[in-house]
Amino acid sequence: MYSRLTPRTDETRARAVLDGRVSTSPRPHRSLRPHRHDVLTAVTGLTGGLVLWAAGLHTQGGRPFGAHWVALVPLVVTAGLELLRRTRPQTAVALGTLALVADQFTTGSLATLLMYTDLMYAAVVYGTPAAARRIPVATFLVTVAVTVGFFAWFRTPEALLIAVATGLVLFAPALTGVSVRNHREAAEAARLRADQTALLAEMDRVQAVTAERSRMARELHDMVANHLSAIAIHSTAALSIDDPGTSREALGVIRQNSVDGLTEMRRLIGLLRENGAGGPPGAAPTLASLDALVGQAGANSASSGLTVTLEDGREEPGPLPAPVELAAYRIVQESLTNALKHAAPGPVTVRLEHSGEVLTVEVSSVLGARPGPRAPGSGAGLVGMRERVALLGGTIGAGPEPRGDGTEIWLVRAELPVEERTYRT
């Protein structure tokens, strides 16, 4: 729709398009060089005038300057002004008016009149908006004044012919210029609206792609981080502890998390494909799956001295909107993953409460003083949880909380609205 320049130029252009600040005036860029069409018009008009002069064809006689060659002066001046019809239209029509008045004192040339009408037309089409408004009004008033003046002077019907000729030379070209300019401005406005529509569509597409990529990143992180963290911790234990029983138990946990991770990955791949080769994609996890998630987290973290429990305080544990259940499940999953990496030995508690229109999710663990996590992480877990909660219009907080015995726990608390609504993705 418009040419690609630099990112900064594109941004400036985009803002101008959206704000409607792109000029709809048909005036071209002002250049010292005349347009090639103007050169052609000037040459054609001058050649035609010379042919008429050589043939002895004149528009009037009995003028103060009766020598035929004098008529060439206004002709040459008007032809020269044709070179300025686009670049300096108002100057051209002003000087052209003086040339036309001078032509009335000579034997006259039809070519001079025709080129002047073109200058009048160009002054409206290519001039400033103010000139485009004033010139038609001024030419109309001049035409009316000439009509009234000559009719009062001659008092014959033939005086009306002078008025008609004046209107054809002054008002008609200006009126034609107004029509052409209006059509061009309407076309430019339509192009501007098309640019705006295309730009808005492109912005919507980019935002949709960005939102989808963020959603995929959250899903990938929440699904894979839990299983890979358990694999990393238990593989470290299997390598560092020279005990067949411990190694066998660690390998069992590693295998189970590998299988579960592959299952979740296949589910996500199925969601990304229109028609998965392996049949319909699996359903998204819900709160009904929290028992299995907590049980798996307990098995994964048993060797680290963590005990994971679920306290479901919901009065009505029925199904909630799918986006809410998925967000709550992923928040619990990520919180358990973080507890596996960072928490000190002790209880890890998952609490659910549903009061009114809000689902509250809490995950608490003992705040440890480890020098580093048990497994490496990307640091995107809390960011992903905040993004999920923000998309639902809820709130979330994560940080240390003091307990009555003087110790501290790490508490993640999210409040998710559960009323039916159109959720952002």
State the pLDDT at residue 205: 81
Query: Tokens at residue 308, please?
Result: 């994971």
Provide the pLDDT confidence category of residue 276 given band limits of 50, 70 and 90.
very low
State the pLDDT at residue 86: 92
Most trustworthy range by pLDDT among 92-101, 256-265, 338-347:
92-101
- Sequence ranges of the chain with CATH classification 3.30.565.10: 287-425
* CATH 3.30.565.10, applies to 287-425: yes
281 vs 357, residue with greater confidence: 357
Provide the pLDDT confidence category of residue 7 given band limits of 50, 70 and 90.
very low
State the pLDDT at residue 401: 87
Model confidence at 343: pLDDT above 90: no
Residue 298: closest CA among 310, 289, 307, 288: 307
Instruction: State the average pLDDT over residues 180-199.
Output: 90
State the pLDDT at residue 11: 55
Which pLDDT tens digit goes with each residue over 290-334?
Answer: 888 888 888 877 777 888 999 988 877 777 888 888 889 889 988
Task: Give the 3-state secondary structure of 85-150.
Answer: CCCCHHHHHHHHHHHHHHHCCCCCCHHHHHHHHHHHHHHHHHCCHHHHHHHHHHHHHHHHHHHHHH
State the pLDDT at residue 3: 40
Provide the pLDDT confidence category of residue 378 given band limits of 50, 70 and 90.
low
Model confidence at 210: pLDDT above 70: yes
**What are the residue ranges of helices labelled H in 241-306?**
244-272, 290-301
Model confidence at 266: pLDDT above 50: yes
